[in-house]
A and B are shown apart, each in its own frame.
Chain A
Amino acid sequence: MNAEEWKRSLSETVEGFKSAIEKVEIENIEALETEYLGRKGRLTFLLRELKNFSVEERKELGKVGNRAKKEISEKLEEKRTDFEAKCARGDDRKPDFDFSLDGKPFPKGALHPITIVLGKITKSLLRLGFSVAQGPCLESEFYNFEALNIPQYHPSRDMQDTFYINLSNGSGMLLRTHTSPVQIRTMEKSRPPLRIISPGRVFRRDAVDASHSFVFHQIEGLYVDRKVSMADLKWTLETFIKDLFGEELRIRFRPSYFPFVEPGAEVDISCLFCGGKNAKCPVCKGGGWIEMLGAGLVHPNVFKNVGYEDGKWQGFAFGAGIERFAMLLFGIKDMRLFYENDVRVLKQFSGVEP
């Protein structure tokens, strides 16, 4: 055996040890030590061979050989310590139970999908500086209509079929048809600048079907300050709609009419389902846009009705139907589902954050 052969043999021995120690079990570690370092061990044999080399070679190869011996001893020691620790921790013992058995079945509660969506929108608009305002469901004609520039005998009253309360004094009390009366109540109480949202329940005298309900929910927004534009409105709506549906969404304004705003706009969002690419899309009907809410700049008559100085204030307002948002967000196709309260449906919303 020449020096080169010896070196190759040594490195094969070390490699052999390394792969053996990776796989060694606690009961075989003694045997592994004997195999390499014992009196007849593989390394011991190689070291013993050194006596056949010249002094020069012996010196050089001896150094390499001893380093290998040290490495092997250390590795063995390390493994032993490791085994001892595992033993002490009990890692090697059998489990006391079957962890795949079910955990305690705590009852699964859930928020209603409408609560979830209302909460999400509220949270998003709260970050933009909108405070929450509340208003009653029992309203007067003044707050629900007249103050909002919807005079009696005006055809715009046809847009909202109203439930009236049967009262002996004929006071014209009604169930609010939109959350917009909260605009008036807020402006009557406070001076601008104002930034409010008002989530709540509204009523229209509609027969119940997949897309109509005589009870539904809206969120109203109102911003009044000295300088307010349609661009501010667009930005605000885009921000909360993107919070809800995702950044890639686009919004579009279309001319529309609501008596209490001017200019008025219908707000569409780009179709979440087909991105405008499916001509047969059941959601956008191929148009690529979905009608979401109504908005506009506060009509000067509304300011007049709450006693704000003429021309001094500007504002924007918007009103969105929540059921529509929830239907899009959760893929619900029938509005009646929201009022059936089937626990198998409701529990699907368990753990969903508003």
Chain B
Amino acid sequence: MKILYSWLLDFMKEKPHIAEVSENLLKLGFQIESMTISGPSFSGVVTGEVLKVEKHPNADRLSVCVVKTGEKKFRVVCGAKNVKEGARVPLARVGATLKGGKLQKVKIRGIESEGMICSAEELGLKGFDNSGILILPKNTPIGVDARTLFGKEDYIFDIEMLANQSYCLSHMTLARELCAFCGYSFKKPEIYEHKEKNENFVEILTEECGRYSAIIVRNVQGIETPAWMKERLRAMDVNPKNNILIDVSNYVMFEMGQPTHCFDLDKLEGGKIKVRKPQKGEELLTLDDDKVELEESAMIIADEKKPVALAGIIGAKESAVTLDTDSILIESAHFNRVSVRKTSQNLSLRTDASYRFERGTDIEMTMNAALRIAHLIKAAHVGAKVDLVCDNYPQKHKPRKVSVDPDRINAILGTNLNEEEIFKAVSAIDSKVNSEKKPWIISPPSYREDIEGVQDVAEEVARFCGYDIIPSITEMPTTKSSLGAEYVLYDYLQRMFASLGFCEAYNYDLISENDIKNTFQDAGDFLEMQNPISSEWRFLRNSLVYGLLKNLKYNLNRQAESVFLFEEGNTYFFSGAKPVEDMRIAGICWGEFSEGTYWKGGSEKADFHLLKGVLNKVFVRFNISFAAGLVFPPFMYKPNSANVLFLGKEVGYVGQVNLNTLTNYLIKEKDVYYFEVSLGKVLSLFPREGVENMKIRFSPVSAMPSVKRDLSIVLKEDIEWEKVKETALRSTLDIHRMEIIDVYKGKNISRGFKSITMRFTFSSLQKTFTDEEVNEKVNDIFSSLSRKLGARLRE
């Protein structure tokens, strides 16, 4: 909200300096977004001294002057009679902004003028002699910005008003707050004094209206808005209409915080105003030409025949004031905040009035705001005549009682304030509070509906004394803490992948319909935003693949030589009809598994087995295995992918990304590998322990030397290694370790066959094996392999 410094001072008897005001605003929790200087609206004008005045060679009335502004001298053509040598003057240089626009370099009767000596008028200044150029006092310094010379400098604060600061949404109410909390004396605005009040003119037929004040003023046609009021409205970023009947309503809203509305009395039918709910089918054409069908929950102002305003939001066009309006009805009412917000939200109609009503207005203020308008109209035009003052106030404000024990205040704030200090602060909310009896019972004023309990009062005490009174000390007892199984797992995995050479990626949870199409899926299976920002971010991801593919593309575009990324993040999908979320870890790999080229040579590229090795290492304690999968997401290339299993249960998948998907993401590379593991599934398999507390049981190691033996066999190429391994391990005891050290197809091996070389390490806790014993074991292994898998020895 914009606050004009001078306007604020209207309501404070003391006139505190701008710096003091901004400091106090900050202390009270009003956040000043910006502070700008308003006032004289010119720029680029400096003070100078006229050194020389000579007649213009080609024009009698003009003179050519030399003006000095510090170091520099300017040759200026001047038409004023009062220009004199030695005079101090405002000099606008070429490029200066003046009332009439930007100053250009011009030739005047053949002589180029390097600037202009200005009159007060040209500077937009009021209250100066305008017969010639503006002669400044003799002691004016030379070379300074001329703006600094004119006292009427004003400031505009732009304050971010929090939702609980609604009672300060105007100049008067903000000043009132400063007075209460910072010790200034409050000065009330002048209002039209009137005692007689009529109640019958307005009929309130809904509980959503607590008070309706109205004033009829006649003989108001064609009253212009006073210049000072226009200036203030401009400072509020409002374009004055130069019809006081329109402008004064805005003015009073910015001044007192109470939204009001002026009707053209002659367009109201039936001589009575009703506040009521709409009837079926009623419509209203707003001031802004919106045709609104009124729903039953809305609240309207109506005359005897028709709706004339949407209560608290906007008036109807038909009954609005115009240049021809002769008599007006000023409305100043209190409407229920929820009711106004509901209607304004449902109709998407947001106005300055609805903004204030939905934040809560002061029910005690309505009459005074209307009387203020009457006063301002009369001040602008003495002939205006107040005809009727009506105040219908069915929901009289009953002050709340809040009980305050000073010890509680200290306990809440953690302070050691003495009673007098706290009492002083409490008096800022309720000046009539009685200090004799404890606990103190305070009655917050009508505009402080936010003060409900002692914690609210504690905040006010802290604001009064300054939040800096809160010390930084604690009496918190020590206690044990835990990370929880989820955090421990997430943290472990992040560290492992990072230490293995993967960089961690963070992607948005939202994806587009293109992402779904690019990966051959159906948008109907995805959770969709009701109110997406744009089509690019419309669905919730069901996998981490979309972001990681885009990251791969992004880095390829930037000449990355390899990309190894992982991400831990939420995925979303339907389980039946129910939307659910699942934490996942996923990784994408492409290129050399190395930080650049190694001069010794030897390179390793991302492929299935590299990724499998990574998963084996990371998930070493999770009883990991791999199996040919039945179902993969359609963005995976099924033949080169496998399911990841923990404890024999499927938890994810690993493999090559489908080439069509890569093409859809404009990725030309082919060897892109990807894995994704559901951490929800992992945690359900390893529920309480987490990685931190996994059961580890030590097993003894052998003191006896172990024996190694290699065995090379030839077998059908489609027999999986897993099968070979399983068969061999079952065929004899004491195999400590079994590794595959070579797989070979080609020369000397028949088509359809492969040769594999295995290395066995035999070891026992009890004994050292003799050669014969080891030979026997290898024989057992081989015969089992040959019997079950048709293996032959390799010659």
Contacts and interface: CB of A to CB of B under 8 A. Distances in A.
22 contacts: A106-B501, A106-B594, A109-B501, A115-B504, A137-B572, A137-B581, A156-B163, A163-B530, A205-B531, A214-B537, A215-B509, A230-B412, A230-B470, A232-B474, A234-B414, A255-B463, A262-B456, A263-B413, A299-B455, A341-B555, A343-B503, A343-B555
Given A154-B341, A156-B164, 8 more contacts: A107-B502, A109-B564, A163-B532, A232-B414, A257-B29, A263-B412, A341-B547, A342-B554
Given A231-B471, A234-B472, A255-B462, A173 B506 contact: no
Contacts of B555: 341-343
A99 interface: no
A112 B530 contact: no
B562 A262 contact: no
Contact of B506 (A105, A263, A341): A341
A142 B232 CA distance: 44
Interface in A226-284: 227-232, 234-236, 238, 251-257, 259, 262-266
Given A129-B478, A155-B163, A254 B579 contact: no
A126 B479 CA distance: 10
Contacts of B414: 229-232, 234
Given A193-B479, A201-B570, A339 B565 contact: no
Contact of A159 (B26, B163, B500, B510): B163
Contact of A236 (B26, B470, B474): B474
A175 B413 CA distance: 34
B499 interface: yes
A107 B565 contact: no
Interface string B563-603: 11100011010000101110000000000011111111000
B510 A215 contact: yes
Contacts of B633: none
Given A112-B505, A214-B508, A255-B28, A165 B579 contact: yes
B630 interface: no
Interface string B445-480: 000000001011011001100011011111111111
A263 B455 contact: yes
B554 A253 contact: no
Given A129-B479, A131-B484, A341-B507, A155 B359 contact: yes
A143 interface: no
Nearest to B28: A255
A173 B579 contact: yes
Contacts of B558: 342, 344
B760 to A, nearest CB: 30
Nearest to B29: A255
A327 interface: no
Interface of A is mostly: mixed
A114 B506 contact: yes
Nearest to A169: B577
A256 B458 CA distance: 13
Contacts of A264: 459
Interface in A327-354: 338-344, 346-347, 350, 354
Contacts, number: 257
B203 interface: no
Interface residues of B, number: 99
Contacts of A256: 29, 162
Interface string B690-708: 0000000000000000000
A254 B595 contact: no
Nearest to B476: A232
Given A132-B487, A230-B412, A343-B563, A105 B598 contact: yes
A225 B478 CA distance: 12
B503 A195 contact: no
Interface stretch (B77-85, B249-257, B489-497, B779-787): B489-497
Contacts of A235: 472-474, 476
A165 B527 contact: yes
Given A105-B595, A344-B558, A254 B29 contact: yes
B163 A165 contact: no
B282 to A, nearest CB: 23
Contact of B598 (A104, A137, A154): A104
B528 interface: yes
A231 B470 CA distance: 6
B467 A253 contact: yes
A343 B503 CA distance: 7
B509 to A, nearest CB: 6
Indicate the member of B453, B459, B502, B600 with the most A CB atoms within 10 Å. B459
B362 to A, nearest CB: 16
B475 A232 contact: yes
Interface in B334-371: 337-338, 341-342, 345, 358-359
B521 interface: no
A257 B501 contact: no
B556 to A, nearest CB: 10
B498 A133 contact: no
B560 interface: yes
A122 to B, nearest CB: 8
A111 interface: yes
A234 B473 CA distance: 7
Contact of A195 (B358, B481, B508, B594): B481
B529 interface: yes
Contacts of B596: 105
A332 to B, nearest CB: 13
Nearest to B600: A104
Contact of A131 (B413, B472, B481, B563): B481
A338 B508 CA distance: 10
Given A131-B484, A166-B529, A297-B455, A110 B498 contact: yes
Contact of B504 (A110, A259, A266): A110
A339 B508 contact: yes
Contacts of A133: 484
Contacts of A341: 503, 505-507, 547, 551, 554-555, 565
A17 interface: no
Given A215-B509, A341-B554, A155 B28 contact: no
A138 B507 contact: no
Interface in A149-172: 153-156, 158-159, 163-167, 169
B483 A215 contact: no
B411 interface: yes
Nearest to A231: B414
Contacts of A108: 501, 503, 595
Contact of B581 (A115, A136, A203, A223): A136
Contacts of B462: 230, 255, 263
A102 interface: yes
B165 interface: yes
B449 to A, nearest CB: 13
A129 B473 contact: no
A204 to B, nearest CB: 10
B684 interface: no
Which 4 pairs, one residue from A and one from B, show the smallest C-beta to C-beta distance? A231-B414, A255-B29, A107-B501, A229-B414
